[in-house]
Structure 1
Amino acid sequence: MSNSFGQLFRISTFGESHGRGIGVVIDGCPAGVTIDENFIQKELTRRKPGQSKITTQRREDDEFEILSGTFEGKSTGTPIALFIPNTNARSKDYSHIADKYRPSHADFTYDAKYGIRDYRGGGRSSARETAARVAAGAIAKTMLSTLGVEIYAYVSSVGDIHAPAYTELDLSRIEENIIRCPHPDTAERMIERIEEVRKSRDTIGGVVTGVIKNCPPGWGEPVFNKLHAALGHAMLGINAVKGFEYGSGFAGTEMRGSEHNDSFHMDGDRVRTDTNYSGGVQGGISNGEDIYFRVAFKPVATIMKDQESVNSSGEAATISGKGRHDPCVVPRAVPIVEAMAALVLADHYLLNKSSKL
């Protein structure tokens, strides 16, 4: 179960960072969905390593193969399997930590849980696994696009550098720079900060903001599978994520109810709200307004400086930073956040269809 996500639109991922490859099986995708291989590849390219000077220099083309579940460019309703081979793994870069626990990685906890771990790039705990989610998310995005649902994510902060609120931005400009921030002046400052941190052999964290437009009202479950809870579950399952908030989030705690309540009005035959502190979700169910949320990513745990730790025998050890790693994960996290949001919405679309005659 820990390798699967979703109820009706369900994915299971497999593979490791330095194994033969990674992949995903999508079960529950309705028949007749267009499987646009060019779009899937485009999404994978947005996430792949080695795409700019501020990302890891591991070179993976992330070309994929569809093994089942499609015919003549359409889904058949049977499980869709995709495989992405690893072509540029350098396992020798990790031989020095075969018996050592890297600070803030999953090395110790995997050993504690399983009694065995793949130390090559973190194995299953590596962010390499997220390529499989992006491939599945591309199919979910295609299905949702037929309903008019649009999903965006962008880098809204790096360290203490913040972009304006999404309502002040042109989201069509997200891909215009390597940091994926649609505010050019802020993007330039973010890139400079990451370069500065990289040259000091360190890393830095940031925030990715997600925005979902045109989600119809009525999606989501009212108790244990609330739409915002499902989004939170999805985002907190992404590597390096330390926090999730939607709508007004923690800032809403500083407001009074009279300020925070989203009053209703009629816009033609549609119920709308004057404000959107609710973040497009009320009672766990979408209300038709923009759904917006923020995902906090910690600084990448692998740094190019020596760190003190212990080995699997409990002896003191020094960890020396080696290999190819991101100085800041957020530029490559943008398509991952979009993909996980798409998987949640695809699942809740199908759940909503099954909830009434």
Structure 2
Amino acid sequence: MSTFGQHFRVTTYGESHGKSVGCIVDGCPPGLQLTEDDIQPQMTRRRPGQSALTTPRNEKDKVEIQAGTEDGITLGSPIGLRVMNEDQRPKDYGGGGGNIDMFPRPSHADWTYLEKYGVKASSGGGRSSARETIGRVAAGAIAEKYLSVAHGVEIVAFTNSVGPVQLFPSSKEHPSPSTNPAFLDILNKVTREEVDSFLPVRCPDAGVTKQMEELIGEFRDREDSIGGTVTCVIRNCPSGLGEPCFDKLEATLAQAMMSIPATKGFEIGSGFGGTCMPGSVHNDAFIKAPAIQPGEAQPARSRPRLTTKTNNSGGIQGGITNGAHIYFNVAFKPPATIGQAQNTTGYDESEGVLAAKGRHDPCVIPRAVPIVEAMAALVVMDALLPQIARQAAREALPVTSKTVTEAGINVSNGHA
């Protein structure tokens, strides 16, 4: 369906070459200061036409708040967000003597949508187009604003690989980046401003960025495409988020990320590389969390009493956040639309050659970065709201022998 979330619910609408795209956000807490200026930066990071390595489609992607706020304050009612399509070209997808409407495009959703619904959008990918993600990014920006203001949560994504060019290739010493100090240092410190200083690729390393840029340019020049991976880190996430057993936080993260167009893989924490590590190395031992240092800002939420010495778990254990950084990778396939003619079979079962038209990215990775951030924000926000309600309900009850207080002391025996 077109709705994501149970408590912070986002419903997106619109097709790639229709009049507009957007979303309805239901469940946003009232009293949040919110204007278009809070949302537009992420829309601009996602928009097409950012460089010679992206689609030349020229869209401003200017977001308009249609409902749900008054005088820049959220009312608690549904928030309506709209972005007008200004540079749509439906003629690129049929008519005009072309043959694109005679064939289901290879690796696109034309055939599967037709099989499911008996009808499909005649231009672009319809709801399967990456343009649908505009609503996700707009809603994610709202979730991020609340998470940042109320809990100090930070979400940063960056390009980790393009084709065979990797920021942190695996090695015998580090089969997973989770044990690589350089990777962990980036997770601790990287900011969106730093990531965007490495445009157009958004990989926070000058040397690797140059290799990636050259590689994408090569595929663009021969009218082909290439895939890659995006890494995302969520810092300062409250502990206790995630709902066993089927809504574990890594499970909802996986669902969210795999719902993004062109995704083909998801791994969290040590990921697949962790399968090459012995348990004695992979286990994350608990240690006492460091105290707040003099002059250090008091966090917006209670600081966990314990943390882990290592973080191969990726900040989630038993499906529940433990307060450590949450980090994961998302794999994106090469964009399906390429300029090269392809042998294929038409709707009438006759063989032929498809020469695709339209304007498309040779690699989606640079523009996928804010989309991954947005979906991460929606997952955390949707998990946070029921946990806040659960905590408030518990605190309204009298203290019992099994109650753990804010100080983390079990009142029955005085031990943590």
TM-score range, shorter chain: over 0.9
Are 1:106 and 2:109 an aligned pair? yes
Match for residue 280 of structure 1 among 286, 310, 315? 315
Could you give the per-residue CA deviations for residues 238-273 of structure 1, whole angstroms, max 9, x where no partner exists?
A: 000000000011111111211110000112462011
Q: In 2, Cα distance between the equivalents of 1:148 and 1:55? A: 33
Are 1:322 and 2:357 an aligned pair? yes
Match for residue 155 of structure 1 among 149, 156, 159? 159
Match for residue 124 of structure 2 among 105, 109, 121? 121
- Is this contact kept in 2: 1:97–1:119, CA < 8 A? no
- Is this contact kept in 1: 2:35–2:65, CA < 8 A? no
Q: Output the amino acid matched with 2:375.
A: M
Are 1:346 and 2:346 an aligned pair? no
- Runs of 5+ unmatched residues, structure 2: 169-176, 178-182, 292-304, 394-416
Q: In 1, Cα distance between the equivalents of 2:289 and 2:249? A: 24
Q: Which residue of 1 aligns with 2:184?
A: 167
Q: In 1, Cα distance between the equivalents of 2:379 and 2:16? A: 25
Match for residue 271 of structure 2 among 232, 244, 249? 249
User: Who wins on radius of gyration, i.e. which is larger?
Assistant: 2
* RMSD over aligned Cα atoms: 1.1
Q: Output the amino acid matched with 2:224.
A: D
Q: In 1, Cα distance between the equivalents of 2:328 and 2:117? A: 34
Q: Which residue of 1 aligns with 2:72?
A: 73
Q: In 1, Cα distance between the equivalents of 2:273 and 2:290? A: 32
Deviation at 1:167, TM superposition (A): 1.9
Deviation at 1:150, TM superposition (A): 0.2
Q: Which residue of 1 aligns with 2:210?
A: 188
Query: Per the alignment, in what secondary structure is the counterpart of residue 390 of structure 2?
Result: coil
Q: In 1, Cα distance between the equivalents of 2:223 and 2:205? A: 27
Q: In 2, Cα distance between the equivalents of 1:340 and 1:124? A: 17
Query: Per the alignment, in what secondary structure is the counterpart of residue 340 of structure 1?
Result: helix
Are 1:228 and 2:227 an aligned pair? no
Q: In 2, Cα distance between the equivalents of 1:98 and 1:33? A: 46
Q: Output the amino acid matched with 2:289.
A: D
Could you give the per-residue CA deviations for residues 34-86 of structure 1, whole angstroms, max 9, x where no partner exists?
A: 21311311110000000111000000000122111001111100000011110
Query: Per the alignment, in what secondary structure is the counterpart of residue 347 of structure 1?
Result: helix
Q: Which residue of 2 aligns with 1:54?
A: 53
User: Quick check: 177-186 or 308-317, which moved more?
Assistant: 308-317
User: Quick check: 205-214 or 252-261, which moved more?
Assistant: 252-261
Q: Output the amino acid matched with 2:164.
A: D
Are 1:332 and 2:367 an aligned pair? yes
Q: Output the amino acid matched with 1:293.
A: F
Q: Output the amino acid matched with 1:239.
A: P
Deviation at 1:321, TM superposition (A): 2.3
Match for residue 287 of structure 2 among 265, 281, 284? 265
Q: TM-score, normalising length from structure 1?
A: 0.98
- Runs of 5+ unmatched residues, structure 1: none
Q: TM-score, normalising length from structure 2?
A: 0.84
Q: In 2, Cα distance between the equivalents of 1:76 and 1:136? A: 16
Q: Which residue of 2 aligns with 1:132?
A: 135
Are 1:214 and 2:213 an aligned pair? no
